[in-house]
């Protein structure tokens, strides 16, 4: 994968993460447990995004 594509993927991931975070905020869970769960999911997504795509 060339550098240009890497940057494109990273930017896509970043904007996607922001979009997801905004969605999570809009549909904010009622209790703290749910919130921490959605945060954990977001972190997992972020890690998946930061990993180089094969």
> pLDDT tens digits, residue range 16-48?
777 777 666 666 556 566 667 777 777 777 777
Would you list the DSSP string of 12-44?
HHHHHHHHHHHHHHHT--SSHHHHHHHHHHHHH
In contact, 14 and 42? CB cutoff 8 Å: no
pLDDT at 15 over 70: yes
In the chain, the number of structural domains is 1
Q: Rounded distance, CA 25 to CA 50, Å?
A: 22
Q: Which residues span the domain enclosing 34? A: 3-50
How far apart (Å, rounded) are the C-alpha atoms in residues 34 and 36? 6
Q: How far is Cα of residue 38 from the mean position of the Cα atoms in its chain?
A: 11
Task: Give pLDDT, residue 26.
Answer: 61
From the list 16, 22, 6, the residue with the least C-alpha distance to 45 is 16
State pTM to two decimals.
Answer: 0.34
pLDDT at 42: 77
């Amino acid at each position: 994968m060339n550098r240009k594509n890497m940057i494109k993927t990273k930017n896509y991931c970043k904007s996607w993460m922001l979009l997801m975070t905004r969605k999570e905020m809009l549909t904010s869970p009622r209790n703290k447990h749910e919130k921490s769960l959605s945060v954990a999911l977001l972190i997992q997504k972020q890690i998946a995004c930061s990993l180089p795509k094969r």
